[in-house]
Amino acid sequence: MLAKYNFMAQLRSRNVRLFYKLVIDDLEELAPVIYTPTVGTACLEYSNILPFLTSPGVADGLFLHDADMPTLREMIKNYQPVPDFQPQIAVISDGSRILGLGDLGMNGMGIPIGKLQLYVAGAGIDPRRTLPILLDLGTNNEKLLNDEFYLGVRQKRPDDEQFYSAVDRVMTALHEVYPKLLIQFEDWSSEHAFGLLDRYQYKTLCFNDDIQGTGAVILAGVINAVRRVEKESNISPKDHRVVFYGAGSAAIGVARQIQEYFQIDQGMSEDEARKIFWLVDSKGLVTSDRGDKLAQHKVYYARNDNQGKQYKDLLDIINYVRPTALIGLSSISGAFNETALKRMAELNQQPIVFPLSNPATQAECTFEQAMKATDERVIFASGTAFPSYTSPSGKVHYADQGNNMYCFPGIGLGGCLSEPKHISNRMIYTSAKALAESVNAEEQAQGRLYPSLKRIRPVSVEVAAAVMEEAAREGLATASVPQNRDELFKYVNAQMWTPEHSDDTLSRI
C-alpha cells in the first residue's frame, strides 16, 4: 500500500487535475490509499520517502519551527503556490499524536496533506486554496531523535508556556496574512488539543477535527444506532449506558457530542445525560476517588457513584456497568476480545460496538470478530474500513465506517461559504444531525448507519448547508446565506470545485 501512496503522491505533484479526477471517481478504493490506513505507514516513513513524494521544486507543505518566528508572515506569503488563489482552509498539526501512532514530529505532515486532499475530493474545496502546515517544535520520540535520516528538528518538545507562545504567533501571522482563513487543528496531543480549542474557538474561525469532527461523525452513527435499537428492540434512548474504552481528546469529543443529543433531542438534563457515560483509561474506570490525579479533560466524566469500587479489566467493567454500547478509542489492538463481545451480546439483543481506533492494526476488534462473537446481532461501526462479512447462510453484512470524512469537509465548506465569526458547538451538532439524516432508504434497508462514500459530495452539501443555516440562525455568518433551502443547496453545489472545470493554474501547484 505504501507504494500506491507514493505513486499517488507523485501523480498529484505532476498532474493535480488527473489525481483528483481519479480520487473523486473512485473514492472508496483510493481514500484508504491517500489517507487512513495507509497514511499511518507513510507518516512512520515520512523522512525516508519524502524525496519520492513530489517532483523537484514542488513543495509538499509548509513546515514552520521556532527559528522561523521572526519571519513568519513572509514565509506564509511566500509559500502560496498560485499567487491569485489565497487559501481558504489550512490544516495544522504539530505531529504530537498522529492517529494512534503517537509522537511522530515532523513526520506527521502526511496528515494535513491527506486531510486537505479529502477536503478537495469530498467537498470540492479548490486545491489551490488549501494550506497544509506542520508546526515542528521538536519531538519526544527518542527513536526519531536518534534516527540519522529524520528530517525534523532534533530537540525535545517545549514546555506549555513556550508551546502556546509559538502557536499564538503562528495563529496571529496566519490571520494577518489571510483574515478569512478557516483553520482545522489536527492530531495534537490530548491536553494541547483541548487547550487550543478553548483558547481559539471563540476568537477565530477554527475547529478541532479530533474533538469536534470525530464527535460529530460518531454522533451521527449513534443517532441511527439508537433509532434502530429503539425500533427493533424497544430500548428507549434514555436507557442507554455507554462505555468509552479510551479517554483521550477524541473520546471526550465524542462523549460531548452524544451528550448534546440526549439533552437536546431526548430532553434530558445535563446531569442525567452525563451519567450515561463511563470512561476507561489505561488505569481502569475513571472515577473521582481512584487515587490518581486526573487529566483535566477527564474530570467532567469521572464517576462518583462507584461506592469506592475500582475496576480495571474490561470484562469486569462490562459486568459492573452492563452497557448497551461499547466505544473504543484506545488504540489497543484486540481490546474488545471474544469474551467481552460475547458478554455484550448476552446483555443486549443488539449490542452497539464501535471500535474506532486507527489504523486497522490498532482497532479494538474487527467486523468479523464482532459478528461471530455476537451471533451476527452487533450494530457496528469502526474507525477504519473493514471488509464485509458473509454469514454461513450466505447473507452478506456490511461494515460501517465512522469516517471523519463524512463531516469535516462539509463543516469546512460551510464555514468557508458562510464565513462565521467562529464555529459554534451547535454548528458542529447540526452537522451530525444532517449526516444522520443523509442515509437514504436503500442504505437503511441494508442496515447502514452511514451513507455510501460514493455519495460523499451530496452528503457534504447537506452538511455544509446545515452548518450555514445554523451560522445564520445564530447571527454568526458574515457572508450572505440563501434563506430558501433549495437555493441554498444550489449555491453550495455551484461553489464546489471539480477537475473538469479547472484551468491551467493547477499546473503551478
Give the separation between CA 350 and CA 324, rounded to whole angstroms: 8
SS3 per-residue string spanning 20-87: HHHHHHCHHHHHHHHCCCHHHHHHHCHHHHHHHHCCCCCCCCEEEEHHHHHHHHHHHHHHCCCCCCCC
**Is 227 annotated as belonging to a binding site?**
no
Active site residue 143: no
**Is 210 annotated as belonging to a binding site?**
yes
Q: How many separate helices (H) and strands (E) can be counted in the chain?
A: 22, 14
3-state secondary structure of 303: strand
Give the separation between CA 256 and CA 498, rounded to whole angstroms: 35
* C-alpha cell recorded at residue 296: 483535566
**Is 15 annotated as belonging to a binding site?**
no
Chain position carrying cell 481506533: 357
**Is 186 annotated as belonging to a binding site?**
yes
Other Cβ atoms less than 10 A from the Cβ of 161: the count is 8
Give the separation between CA 356 and CA 370, rounded to whole angstroms: 13
Phi, psi (rounded to 5 degrees) for 301: -100, 5
Catalytic residue (one of 35, 200, 311, 429) = 35
Catalytic residue (one of 5, 115, 150, 261) = 115
**Is 160 annotated as belonging to a binding site?**
no
**Is 97 annotated as belonging to a binding site?**
yes
Q: Which helix (H) or strand (E) holds 327?
A: strand 325-328
Give the separation between CA 465 and CA 217, rounded to whole angstroms: 16
Phi, psi (rounded to 5 degrees) for 74: -65, -40
Active site residue 115: yes
Q: In the sheet where 89-93 sits, what is the strand order?
A: 62-65, 130-136, 89-93, 182-185, 206-208
3-state secondary structure of 328: strand
Q: Which residues are annotated as a binding site for a divalent metal cation?
A: 186-187, 210
Bind-site residues for (S)-malate:
97, 358, 403
Positions at the binding site: 97, 186-187, 210, 358, 403
Active site residues: 35, 115
